[in-house]
Chains A and B, each alone.
Chain A
Amino acid sequence: MKLQELVDSLSLVVKTASAHLTKEVTGGYVSDLLSDVIANIKEGSVWITLQTHQNIVAVATLKELSGIILVNNRTPDADTLKKADGEGIPILVSSLSAFEIAGLLYNLGLRCR
């Protein structure tokens, strides 16, 4: 499914790279530990996390992720926003928790490859 569909079904707020919402989402991954994400996330995945510092953009670019969902209404700082726009990485924000976002995506048929 396309990232835009996720934005619509989960009412996510698009913070960056709104032109890149046509990306195909091939899986979901929940983690706040960067080393774990770098080691295990698969390309095309949408990454669900609480982390907001600019390293998340580097990870998303390196691992060719479709986007990042920040939960619990976490707002990315200015550096993160700038970097994400520059790299074309959509950052989406939700007021829901990681548990709920993962649950809703699971219900939509998304899996963790």
Chain B
Amino acid sequence: MQDKSAKTAEGVFFITGKDFANAGVASCELKSILEKMGVDRGIVRRASIAAFEAEMNVVIYTPAGMMRYKITPDYIKIVVEDVGPGIENIDLAMTEGYSTASDDIRSMGFGSGMGLPNIKRNTDELNILSIPGIGTTLEIVINIKKE
């Protein structure tokens, strides 16, 4: 019988900025993939939340971005890159409740400032590279416990 968790998978999703109607589609798809691969439920939750928050940031703040993922028996790696305005102050952005969202965005229920803190809380490694005016890359790693 094939051990489901021995499989690996990788892929990419394109994220359209400001497309609120489809915000979260990529993360929901990734969650589906992880579940079909038999990944532990707790890990699926953490990876999905991290992917979702990263995807939401691309939709809220940037014109476009890309989410690449790699799933192995040992880890899940998600890289989200965008061509947005970049993050001026990463430390500040990591503070719960800090947000640069416009009033319009807030009135839609987004941009409450929990995005990056939520990602950090759910991942084992988080690397942020951001150049204001050029874009941002988030690299996320979640380790999978060996059964």
Assess A/B contact in the complex (Cβ within 8 A): yes
Chain A interface residues toward B at CB < 8 A: 32-35, 50-53, 55, 74-75, 77
Residues of chain A with a CB closer than 8 A to B107's CB: 33-35
Question: Is B133 an interface position by the 8 A CB rule?
Answer: no
Which listed residue, B97, B98, B109, touches A33 by the CB 8 Å rule? B109
Given contacts A50-B112, A53-B106, A74-B96, 6 further A-B contacts (CB under 8 A): A33-B107, A34-B107, A35-B107, A51-B112, A55-B103, A74-B97
Question: Is B99 an interface position by the 8 A CB rule?
Answer: yes
> What bracket does the count of chain B residues touching chain A fall in?
10 to 19
**Docked pose: A47 CA to B109 CA in angstroms:** 17
**Docked pose: A50 CA to B96 CA in angstroms:** 11
Residues of chain A with a CB closer than 8 A to B99's CB: 53
**Docked pose: A32 CA to B108 CA in angstroms:** 10
| Residues B85-118 near A (CB distance < 8 A) | 96-99, 103, 106-109, 112
22 A-B contact pairs sorted by A residue (CB < 8 Å): A32-B109, A32-B112, A33-B107, A33-B108, A33-B109, A34-B103, A34-B106, A34-B107, A35-B107, A50-B112, A51-B106, A51-B112, A52-B97, A53-B99, A53-B106, A55-B103, A55-B106, A74-B96, A74-B97, A75-B97, A77-B97, A77-B98
Shortest B121–chain A CB gap in Å is 14
Query: Closest A-chain residue to B106, C-beta based?
Result: A34
For the A-B complex, the count of residue pairs with Cβ-Cβ distances under 8 Å equals: 22
Query: Closest B-chain residue to A73, C-beta based?
Result: B96
**Docked pose: A52 CA to B108 CA in angstroms:** 16
- Report the 3 A-B pairs with minimum CB-CB distance, sorted nearest first: A35-B107, A52-B97, A34-B107
**Docked pose: A74 CA to B97 CA in angstroms:** 7
Task: Return the CB mask of B14-36 against A: 1 if under 8 Å, else 0.
Answer: 00000000000000000000000
Residues of chain B with a CB closer than 8 A to A34's CB: 103, 106-107
Shortest B109–chain A CB gap in Å is 6
Residues of chain B with a CB closer than 8 A to A74's CB: 96-97
Residues of chain B with a CB closer than 8 A to A77's CB: 97-98
Residues of chain B with a CB closer than 8 A to A55's CB: 103, 106
| Residues B103-139 near A (CB distance < 8 A) | 103, 106-109, 112
**Docked pose: A52 CA to B107 CA in angstroms:** 13
Residues of chain B with a CB closer than 8 A to A75's CB: 97
**Docked pose: A91 CA to B108 CA in angstroms:** 24
**Docked pose: A74 CA to B95 CA in angstroms:** 11
**Docked pose: A57 CA to B109 CA in angstroms:** 18
